[in-house]
Amino acid sequence: MLSAFISKSSSSTTVGFSIFIIGFVAQLVTQFGFPYSTSFTSTYRIIWSFFPPNLLAEGIILLSDATATPEDPGISWSRRAKCAPNDTECVFSINDIYIWLISTFVLWFVLAIYFDNIIQNSSGVRKPVFYFLNPGYWTGKGGNKVTDGGICSCTSSVPSLENITLDDEDVLEEESTVKQQAMEDVVDPNIAVQIRGLVKLYPGKTKIGFCKCKKTSHYHALKGLWVNFPKGQLFCLLGPNGAGKTTAINCLTGITPVTAGDALIYGDSVRSSVGMSNIRRIIGVCPQFDILWDALSGEEHLHLFASIKGLPPSSIESVAQESLAEVRLTESAKIRAGSYSGGMKRRLSVAIALIGDPKLVILDEPTTGMDPITRRHVWDIIEDAKKGRAIILTTHSMEEADILSDRIGIMAKGRLRCIGTSIRLKSKFGTGFIANISFSGGTSGTPDRGEDVTMMHHETVKQFFKSHLDVVPKEENKAFLTYVIPHDREELMTNFFAELQDRQGEFGIADIQLGLTTLEEVFLNIARQAELESAAAEGSLATLALTSGNSVQIPVGARFVGIPGTESAENPRGVMVEVYWDQDDSGALCISGNSTETPIPSHVQLVASSATNSNRAILGRARPVQGIVIDPNQIGTLNSQ
């Protein structure tokens, strides 16, 4: 607690404030002298003495006065309450300084603990201002309740949760199962964690600068999460940065208080203090950022956590050695954690999470920074750890999620977007199947004639795919052709691949590989969809440059857009394009391309997007006009991308 206070005090604002105070005090002393003389009243002296450096300075002055010359008597312990005989101005003895220093130490120490509790920490939580009046705080039963936001933050204008429409039936089914169990107040013995409509709202903060106050708005990090995590399973929580994964974990571990909803861990509620203290006994957590003490060795960390988790002292040594061996840290066991590499620190954090046989293990990006060999080793450890307990894992590695998870949930913008096994998600949200066709002569460096034959085979195979499945290669080189086959061609695939295999020799094919699209693609699709929804809600605009050289402004995320001013005798309703969206490195949506312009079908109902410019011709205009957004349900795909 005190270290937290000290670390808080070292923030730039506090340092600046401290420098200001020291400067002010120095100025006072220069101007008026120390108030430890008869020319000042005792009130000044008392106020002055609340600041220990002032007492220390006066103590040094007294000491130097009493030992300035060899004749001076000095200050002995028995004479500590008396002033030096030659000091006529003396109003404060060294004994008074001792008493004041001890008293102010106690005072400032208590205040440090108090402010540490009531000022919000890095997770945005704090204790109530009068927390110490709650008997539970002193007895340890129910006194650990924390609240959100700063002491002065205004909570009156907390926004209500926006109306959410969930479209994935698996998420809806999961939600209705949990709601049903919650309504009947049933605690399924096979469920380790039940999240019941978890909502987390981070309150806006008021930052007071030197000249202005800055207010940040409230943020809904979790918008109602309903999910069950069964025992003996590893549930992998995926999502782009800022999706709310860590917030969900922090709510489960009690680091952050929940705003609404609840979560039961082995039947104990995270909203109850008693429940939370039971939960702390049965969970192991590997946080996103290593919380280790630089001065302690790996072995000492494990000893410490084993004792905290209540392991019998006789078994601590063997358990710690076993854990160190599991994460391959035996050789570095006695080295201080401060000199560990990033990967070694992560491994130590994983070992700490697993020590003491916890019934629920929460691993927040455990393999970040590990080399591929160590990562695979840690995967084995996690796989073994599944038995008899529930594991919640968050990761940005799709490979990790694919290999380890029994079920996957992908979150975006504080909501669960899809849930299911890896295969289910791939078949449901992936674009379809990936076919890799490799050619026999492609890599042998054959002479010209051989190359001609290979190219001929390529063309024949491309023609074969085009005529049977209407697809073009996604990637191609001399050795390979890679196709993405959409789900809607699934029925044609059995006969198609049977024929392709029969004609393998004729087409010069060495190998045919068929698989589902990757989890990464599912992830990207879900993340893009979430971005599209939020961009549409915000109403931001992007400029679409058309091949004709003109441009139109369209809402970010709009898929089909009619171009105003393109009505003609041939196309009386004008033309439209399909816009393709992608995400840049920062995850923001950008236009990746558009289909060719096609006539707007007669059945499509057009809604003018802007009364001011929707019917203006675009030709010859300096500023782009606004495109007409067309409901995708009225249209299929215009051109394949």
Ligand X SMILES: Nc1ncnc2c1ncn2[C@@H]1O[C@H](COP(=O)(O)OP(=O)(O)OP(=O)(O)O)[C@@H](O)[C@H]1O
Closest residue to ligand X in the complex (CB)? 246
Minimum CB separation of residue 259 from ligand X in Å reads: 12
CA atoms of 17 and 22, how far apart (whole Å) = 9
Radius of gyration of the chain (CA): 34
Contact of 290 with 340, CB cutoff 8 Å: no
Of 246 and 253, nearer to ligand X (C-beta) is: 246
At 274, list the tokens: 């008693």
Of 242 and 486, nearer to ligand X (C-beta) is: 242
Contact at 8 Å (CB) between 444 and 450? yes
Residue with Cβ nearer ligand X (572 or 587): 587
Could you tell me if 296 and 312 are in contact, meaning their C-beta atoms sit under 8 angstroms apart?
no
- Minimal distance, residue 221 CB to ligand X, in Å: 4
Strand, helix or coil at 538?
A: helix
Tokens of 76: 């002995």
Q: CA–CA separation, 411 vs 526, rounded Å?
A: 8
Q: Closest distance between ligand X and the C-beta of residue 200, in Å?
A: 8
Q: What are phi and psi of 283, to 5 degrees?
A: -115, 155
CB of 122 to ligand X, least distance (A): 7
Residue 9 or 288: the one with the smaller Cβ distance to ligand X is 288
> Quick one: 177 or 534, whose CB is closer to ligand X?
534
CB 290 within 8 A of CB 301: no
We find the least distance from the C-beta atom of residue 549 to ligand X, in angstroms, to be: 39
Distance CA 58, CA 197 (A): 61
Contact 392, 235 (CB under 8 A): yes
Q: Tokens representing 262?
A: 């609840």
Structure token digits, residue 361: 């293990």
Residue 407 or 457: the one with the smaller Cβ distance to ligand X is 407
Pick between residue 391 and residue 437 the one whose CB is nearest to ligand X: 391
Q: Given the rule CB under 6 A, which residues bind ligand X?
A: 123-124, 202, 219, 221, 239, 241-247, 288
CB of 557 to ligand X, least distance (A): 19
Q: Which residue has the tokens 């707007």?
A: 600
Nearest-approach distance from CB 333 to ligand X, in angstroms: 30
Which H helix or E strand runs over 114?
Answer: helix 94-118
Cβ proximity to ligand X: between 255 and 434 the closer is 255
Q: What angle separates helix 94-118 from helix 52-66, to the nearest 10 degrees?
A: 160
CB of residue 219 to ligand X, shortest distance in Å: 5
Closer residue to ligand X, CB minimum distance, 418 or 461: 418
Query: What is the nearest approach in angstroms of ligand X to the Cβ of residue 457?
Result: 45
Count of alpha carbons within 13 angstroms of residue 268, beta-carbon side = 20
Q: Is 191 helix (H, G, I), strand (E, B) or coil?
A: strand
